[in-house]
A and B are shown apart, each in its own frame.
Chain A
């Protein structure tokens, strides 16, 4: 029968109650908002004002909607936790945006563009993690591979004058570091978390060392700004056109997500990879070369991580010590958040990128909330999801275990 009431688990009920509470919270915030109904204006650079909303009324509406969403969850239950999260999440984000834009104007397309660019290295790092971990090798070293990639990109770009060779160098360097990780974890059977940590420590030390010793004296550390790529027709679309005028890495990332997803889930090669990560012994008995699959996947992961690293230094135009600043770990979090899938990682990276973009705006708007709290948001979100509160994330079964051929 349609509209059958789904049996609700405790977790579903808790989520529903939380949504209701958040909804009332939004209404309460609306009530506390200042009386002067300064409008929240959202504009676009080319068009001008897109729309302006009165904060208090908007928040009442959104809060009420959120309460409704929570009530629906308690009464009927959403088809999937993801749908509930998306609905409630959208309402919360919209309310938040309106609230902070009170009396000021927010460049909405600009915000979207910053979200996408912030999400780029995270997605690339997460894709790298997906390759490695789906094959059964835990990769904590995304941060280190990205840092090496950033360094190589700048060094080679300065030396050759072409950012494309720089990117290529970054990709290869990432692969080299991944090869080291692979040798240590697969051949020498070192605990993979330790070999990953070693690469991170080595990356931080070696890049700084080489920077001081070789790059700076030779004047190679600042090649200057990077040209943006502009896709002709798409870039002229009014609001979202800005998204198509970006550093090349962004477009590569956007292309890689569906490609990787296709490779992993719709090709025999991807099937073999996943089998090696879930049950290597079974794969071995069927004839899959476990070691070779793991090596290749880890190195591919390294290539992607190197590309992600190149984004940092090439978009800034120079190399700074510890440039990646923990983004490699957020990428890891995005991968877990996205349940070890490319598309999921991309969406998670967008969420994290949004938090990053917003906190920049908040600083500009001089909001009372300290930016550091919003910077903490990705970490808190990851811890929450690791705890299985929102949803269960399932890693590949043989992730982290060295394979011993018998």
Chain B
């Protein structure tokens, strides 16, 4: 056999050695879920009462927190056990360990700490104090940039409920909205790479498809005049998706026709895409000489924002969610998707079953490219509203980590994207307040990939026992010659 295979199996559930006695959760499921639902309803009612009576407002935030916990409890009860959490153990531990490593990096590159370490034996207290401060400032600002400060949110809620003035609440919610906004391109390009993985392909070209897709959308956005939003916006979005799809589809066709490995070809297409866009921004499409930037798109092509500034959350979120649903439906609920997954999991079986490998590969690369293109579309039509040299921001490469972290499943990808979005949003604040360069999040992300791709490290670190089939991304290990 010339190919080794790593297949993904979800939380498989307990094996055949089931105890004869039903567990506590199973036996009392009915009344437990009734209790949860009842408590949930009570909490919601309490929130409504507080909002309308304007009393006891400080309790709202904790109540909402309790609501979330009740939801989790409900899921546990209805599924009968805590098994569903099992699949999240390794990813969570991976993230935690990566953050710890990041903390060490912060400590040992802090000049003050390094200076204090020189006198460690005379004065250990200072060194430890400085180290702790460095990490605390960094990670607190990271948290505040990603989620915001609970105190401010609570105060903002209070102002809103008591006085009807929503501005304070809005600015308190800005960090969470920034995290969401930053996670939109991650979701889309993560889906792109995940789809590729499911079909057995490595789409390293998400970065190039991102740029090309964004460019196509912007060009349609500013050059097609006189159309109403309801036509112009979908048209621009479709143009971007098509551009990215073609950029990826070329590689897919090459692989289908000649067997050329998609890793090299997608990397080449990446750099060709960058050069192409560099040229286009330098001459034909440049708006003002020397700025390397295109014209701004027309208002009818802009993705709408949900809330007034400073919140930047835009319609790309809808695209991202729809795309996630589409990918889930396509891969698991259609014959086409089944074929694609089979080709990825076991090409020989697929061929034996009469499936056309080439067609599936080409289609998979096209769809993957289109999703990555949509990622660029969301950024360009939703945030930047034009195209410039700084557009490329590393979303494509990070999405490889994302797809891995999310187990190549849309739900996992969405959750992982939220995490990465939070890291990015928080990192910006961390850079301005704690003066820790943003790249620490890149380092954390790489560590996360390492731990996810080699779960044995995490398992041995935390003395976990391995289940027989551990959650691992669906990829087929092949060399260059397919």
Interface residues of A (CB under 8 A from B): 138, 140, 184, 188, 190-195, 197-202, 204-206, 208-210, 212-214, 217, 326, 329, 332-333, 336, 370, 372-373, 375-376, 379-380, 382-383, 386-389, 394-402, 404
Contact = CB atoms under 8 A, between A and B. Distances in A.
Interface centre among A202, A210, A213, A388 (most CB of B within 10 A): A213
B258 A386 contact: yes
A400 B272 contact: no
Contacts of A208: 437, 439, 442
B275 A201 contact: no
Contacts of A198: 401, 446, 449-450, 453
| A interface: dominant SS | helix
Contact of A379 (B111, B271, B439, B443): B271
Contacts of A333: 264, 268
B453 A402 contact: no
A111 B436 CA distance: 44
Contacts of A399: 479-481
Q: Which bracket fits the contact residues of B?
A: 35 or more
Given A197-B204, A213-B109, A402-B477, A188 B446 contact: no
Nearest to A201: B446
B457 A386 contact: no
Contacts of B4: 401-402, 404
Contacts of B3: 401
Nearest to B264: A386
B110 to A, nearest CB: 8
Contact of B272 (A140, A194, A213, A379): A379
A398 B111 CA distance: 47
Sorted nearest first, the 8 A-B pairs with minimum C-beta distance are A205-B442, A400-B479, A399-B479, A188-B454, A372-B279, A386-B260, A202-B446, A209-B439
Contacts of B436: 213
Contacts of A404: 4
Interface string B382-401: 00000000000000011011
Contact of A213 (B268, B437, B446): B437
B456 interface: yes
Contacts, number: 161
B479 A401 contact: yes
17 contacts: A188-B457, A190-B453, A201-B398, A201-B445, A201-B449, A205-B442, A209-B442, A213-B110, A379-B271, A383-B254, A383-B260, A387-B254, A388-B259, A389-B258, A394-B481, A397-B2, A400-B480
Contact of A387 (B258, B441, B478): B258
A329 to B, nearest CB: 5
Nearest to A192: B477
B454 A190 contact: yes
B479 A388 contact: no
Contacts of B275: 372-373, 375-376, 379
A386 B265 contact: yes
Nearest to B267: A329
Interface in B462-482: 475, 477-481
A206 B260 contact: no
Contacts of A191: 6, 453, 475, 477
A359 B447 CA distance: 39
A103 to B, nearest CB: 23
Contacts of B454: 184, 188, 190
A388 B265 CA distance: 13
A332 B401 CA distance: 22
B271 A209 contact: no
Contacts of A400: 477-480
Given A195-B450, A198-B449, A386-B260, 16 more contacts: A140-B263, A191-B475, A191-B477, A193-B202, A194-B400, A194-B475, A202-B443, A202-B447, A206-B442, A209-B437, A332-B264, A372-B275, A376-B275, A396-B479, A397-B481, A402-B4
